[in-house]
Amino acid sequence: MSKNNNIIIFDTTLRDGEQSPGCSLNLEEKLRMARQLVRLKVDVIEAGFPEASPGDFRAVQEIAKQIKGPIICGLARANKKNIKHCDEALAPAKKKRIHTFISSSDIHLKYQLKKTRAQVLKQAITAVSYARSLCSDVEFSAMDASRSDPKYLLELYQAVIDAGALTINIPDTVGYSLSNEFYKLVYFLNENLKKTDKVSISVHCHNDLGLAVANSLASIQAGATQVECTVNGIGERAGNCSLEEVVMGIYVRKDLFPYQTKIDKKQIYRSSRLLSALTGIDVQPNKPIVGENAFAHEAGIHQDGVLKNKTTYEIIRPQVVGVPSNKLVLGKHSGRHALQDRLRKLGYQLGHEELRVVFSSFKRLSDVKKKVFDDDLIALVDSHITHDQRYVLDSIQVVSGNFAVPAATISLAFDGSIKKESAVGDGPVDAAFQAIKKLTGFKGRLTHFSVRSITGGTDAQGGVFVAIEKDGKVMRATSSHTDIIVASAEAFITAINKFEHYHFKDKPEQIKGC
């Protein structure tokens, strides 16, 4: 059991989560997510794998520089070059951690590393000792631990503890373990390792059999005091342990878990939404805690019970995790202060200029949409706070219909004047995108386009997500509007603006040795 019954929440959304298909984020997006993780009050942010690319190095370095509060952690393979590089990226952090890893299962040793157990043991000791010479906080992971020989694991973990590792992470790398098995492994290690109370046992579970959260919870009962997890459970293949689910599991089942986390539960929904907006990947409606249907009672018998007493069918009040009430919150006559106040309650602290931009979008929205809900406001903020808008949509007009040739005329304000272009396309959205391409000279391609309804009704806002690609670089953007063609055009323009911003002003430096 932990000294103060606190379970450490180690967030790896920006490392294990971000490396999964479709989830990659650029620097600015990583910083926005990291700021949200601070509001969520995670204990550790694993900011990336500096050796993976110059972009990853830069992201870890910027997060280390700009993000205050949590420990900033970087991942490194168990070799000197990786560890040194990781330490350099983490240098600006007030509180930093080097997380080094090497595989421990015979399958990995034989087919991947082509090393003996003795060689891996020696390499792990050398790596941890070196990391400790650079940084006082070192974590060690035995990759594929759940498929490794427990006796060898005990020897390996004992050796790295003796070499100075302060966190011993036990990964179920391929999501293979069942909960009772994983419990036994964690219990066995926790009972038999000779360690001081400065050493934490951590678990890192993947979700290939849908057991990542269950295995993490079982591990806490077996003595683990740190859980590695990601927002929305994103991660390699079927994902990682979901932060919101494991945190709420501990909270709701206090009877079985006499522990607490430092997580600000009211920030859970917002964290989930922000990540979806940044990656363009919506959570499935039935996802526990943050899915659209997570608190919806459809069956008559359930509705009847909930109306009589919420506890009949509700184990979590939606407000606890910050799900906005779908009550009318603002309307046409609401002023800037009311908007600012509501946004503050939703956890957004906007600067003067940001508030000005969001307020004018809100005014436009409340003109066409009588009821503006919290979800509408979240979408507005998420889609309107961007950097350096070189191109701004001035007007858009489209023609479409079953007999018409889809066409769009767009005017954009940029470089001190307003320019207009028309184009035809396969549909009105395509026509609008063609006109925007003509105006901006953007030569890349659209790789992803999706539309979803933000709130219900025919006057609902459509939330549009686009991803565009040029020269192997991808930019994503979202926008929302009651007219989905306008939202599409705005999202496309924002993505092009981001391209210009990052291409011209934010080129990552080449990192020596990469």
Task: Tell me how far, at minimum, the Cβ of 101 lies from ligand KIV, in Å.
Answer: 4
In the region spanning residues 13 to 32, those forming contacts with ligand KIV, defined by CB under 6 A, are 16
Residue 279 interacts with, from Zn ion, ligand KIV, none (CB under 5-8 Å by kind): none
Element (H, E) at 481: strand 473-481
Radius of gyration of the chain from its Cα atoms, rounded to whole angstroms = 25
| Strand ranges in 415-461 using DSSP code E only, listed in sequence order | 417-424, 445-453
- Separation CA 52–CA 139 (nearest Å): 19
Specify the residue, 102 or 378, whose C-beta has the smaller distance to ligand KIV.
102
Residue 384 interacts with, from Zn ion, ligand KIV, none (CB under 5-8 Å by kind): none
171 binds ligand KIV (CB under 6 A): yes
Contacts of 183 (CB under 8 A, 6+ apart): 218, 219, 221, 222
Quickly list DSSP for 24-84.
Answer: ---HHHHHHHHHHHHHHT-SEEEEE-GGG-HHHHHHHHHHHHH--SSEEEEEEESSHHHHH
> Quick one: which segment of 65-73, 169-177, 411-419, 471-479 binds ligand KIV (CB under 6 A)?
169-177
Specify the residue, 171 or 280, whose C-beta has the smaller distance to ligand KIV.
171
And the tokens for 226? 């740190």
Torsion from C-alpha of 179, 180, 182, 183, nearest 10 degrees: 110
Residue 179 interacts with, from ligand KIV, Zn ion, none (CB under 5-8 Å by kind): none
Q: Which of 30, 96, 195, 204 binds ligand KIV (CB under 6 A)?
A: 204
> Quick one: which segment of 168-176, 250-258, 411-419, 477-485 binds ligand KIV (CB under 6 A)?
168-176
Task: Tell me how far, at minimum, the Cβ of 73 lies from ligand KIV, in Å.
Answer: 11
Q: Which of 60, 67, 143, 410 binds ligand KIV (CB under 6 A)?
A: 143
281 binds ligand KIV (CB under 6 A): no
173 binds ligand KIV (CB under 6 A): yes
Specify the residue, 16 or 490, whose C-beta has the smaller distance to Zn ion.
16
Contacts of 478 (CB under 8 A, 6+ apart): 277, 280, 379, 382, 383, 463, 464, 465, 466, 491, 494
Is residue 473 within 8 Å of 500, Cβ to Cβ?
A: no
16 binds Zn ion (CB under 5 A): yes
Specify the residue, 228 or 245, whose C-beta has the smaller distance to ligand KIV.
228
Q: Which of 20, 61, 82, 141 binds ligand KIV (CB under 6 A)?
A: 141
101 binds ligand KIV (CB under 6 A): yes
Residue 271 interacts with, from ligand KIV, Zn ion, none (CB under 5-8 Å by kind): none
- Separation CA 398–CA 425 (nearest Å): 11
What φ, ψ does residue 349 adopt, rounded to 5°? Answer: -105, 100
Contacts of 491 (CB under 8 A, 6+ apart): 383, 464, 465, 466, 477, 478, 479
Chain residues that interact with ligand KIV, rule: CB under 6 A: 16, 101, 141, 143, 169, 171, 173, 204, 206
